[in-house]
Amino acid sequence: MKISGFEATTLAIPEDDPLANMPEEDGRMRPVVILRLRTDDGIEGIGITFYAGAMTGSLRVAVEELAALTIGEDPLRVERIAAKLMAGTGDSCGPGGIFTLAQSAIDIALWDIKGKALGQPLWKLLGGHRDRVPTYASGALRRGLSDDQAQTAARRLLDKGFTQMKTQMALPGNPSIRDEVRRVACIREAIGPDIQLMCDINQRWRPEQAIDIGRRVEEVGLFWLEDVTRADDYQGLARVTAALSTPIAGGEYLWGIEPFRQMIEAQSVDIPMIDIVRAGGVTPWMKIAGMAEAFNLPVVSHVMPEILVHLIAACPNGLTVEYMPWMLKLYEETPTIENGEMILPTTPGLGLKFDEAAIAAFTV
Ligand SMILES: [Mg+2]
């Protein structure tokens, strides 16, 4: 089996809120590049990448240029292809930035091909630890909502059967510490004591602020506090992690494998969060999860639950899947949720098929 062709397409997907129907801002679009990688025996693997914003056109070209290097290669040899992509760009274009974003789409498509060629779902190929995994609602309880809106949205998530959900602090404007604490307390009040509540700061606090506010919200009982300060301030993160009993999560902003070594060695976080697009695809994502396992740390995923559910289910230290619904509308069907858990598909590869009408509608 050899790779024989590819097609990359730029999409603009509406940024709505299908989980709680409480969008912060109507009409915003998210640019994404999708890849179809084809083999000479008729298999098509799908890949996806994003985070390039105004450079998404460049990202699509980068995907095409790297995909061209895979023509004639055996798609099962993912490491050989990764080395070829790096060598093909002079061994110095990555890791990081457009190179890694483009590489991710290819690596994801290669694993989809591998699953389809072997007739196995991806989560089984990667280890198959579990066939259902916890998931949490994400993207609905954002910092721009009022307290009332946040409480209404939280109740809608409960009605949908979620048993874990994430909100945000570092509220807009110049909020007082009291406002920050009140926000998570009011969501806790809406959902009751038994629902697991995470809270994302998106790198917006200083370490000292994180320790101060973090201590004041310990009694709210957060499942984790996420990205409390700059992702590359490993020592600052470590101070926060040491000071709080609430677990600290982070890692979605790191590129490739090596920064996770720094983060884990510095004891910066209790829960590494691994983004598949910034990691470079399925292959490096699983290596980072294995590195965390060696340090007795759980791992969590970042966005794209329809793909990341495979990886969290595959590894023994996968904690929960972020159910961020950004891309769900691209596919005919995505994994279902039952009693707060995602059910792993039994179809080969990613188990995803593009909804061609949706793709046509979003193509730019
Ligand atoms: Mg986050």
Determine the pLDDT at residue 270.
98
Question: How remote is the CA of residue 192 from the centroid of ligand 1, in Å?
Answer: 23
Name, in order, each residue with C-beta under 8 angstroms of 287's C-beta and a sequence gap of 6 or more: 257
Ligand 1 mean position, distance from CA 200 (Å):
6
* Distance in Å, CA 228 to ligand 1 centroid: 10
User: pLDDT-derived band of residue 110, with 50, 70 and 90 as boundaries?
Assistant: very high
pLDDT at 24 over 80: no
Task: Name the pLDDT band for 23 (thresholds 50, 70, 90).
Answer: confident
Query: Ligand 1 centroid to 68 CA: how many Å?
Result: 33
Cα distances from 221 to residues 65, 161, 162, 181, 322, in angstroms, run: 48, 20, 17, 12, 19
pLDDT digits (tens, 9 = 90+) for 45-77: 999 999 999 999 999 999 999 999 999 999 999
Confidence check: pLDDT of 285 > 90: yes
In this prediction the pTM is 0.97
* Structure-token pair, residue 226: 């996420």
Say how many Å lie between the CA of residue 70 and the centre of ligand 1.
32
* 25 C-alpha to ligand 1 centroid (Å): 19
Ligand 1 centroid distance, CA of 166 (Å): 9
- Distance between Cα 322 and ligand 1 center (Å): 9
Grade residue 361 by pLDDT with cuts at 50, 70 and 90: very high
Q: How far, in Å, from the CA of 93 to the mean position of ligand 1?
A: 26
Q: How many CB atoms lie within 10 A of CB 149?
A: 15
Count CB atoms within 10 A of the CB of residue 150: 24
Distance between Cα 283 and ligand 1 center (Å): 21
**Ligand 1 center–CA 202 separation, angstroms:** 6
Give the distance (Å) from ligand 1 centre to CA of residue 226.
Answer: 6
Cα(255) to centroid(ligand 1), Å: 15
Percent of the chain with pLDDT over 70: 100
Strands 341-343, 44-50: pairing kind? unpaired
- What's the rounded mean pLDDT across residues 332-350? 97
Question: Is residue 8 pLDDT above 90, yes or no?
Answer: yes
Q: Are 45 and 75 in contact (CB under 8 A)?
A: yes
What's the CA-to-centroid distance between 252 and ligand 1, angstroms? 7
Fold of the CATH domain 3-119+355-362: Enolase-like; domain 1 (3.30.390)
DSSP annotation of 344 reads: P
Å from CA of 90 to ligand 1 middle: 33
State pLDDT tens for residues 211-266: 999 999 999 999 999 999 999 999 999 999 999 999 999 999 999 999 999 999 99
CATH 3.20.20.120 assigned to domain 123-343? The reply is yes
Q: Please check whether residue 320 is in contact with residue 135, taking contact to mean a CB–CB distance below 8 angstroms.
A: yes
Contact 173, 53 (CB under 8 A): no
So where are the chain's domains?
A: 3-119+355-362, 123-343
Give residue-wise pLDDT tens across range 191-203: 999 999 999 999 9
Output the pLDDT for position 22.
Answer: 82
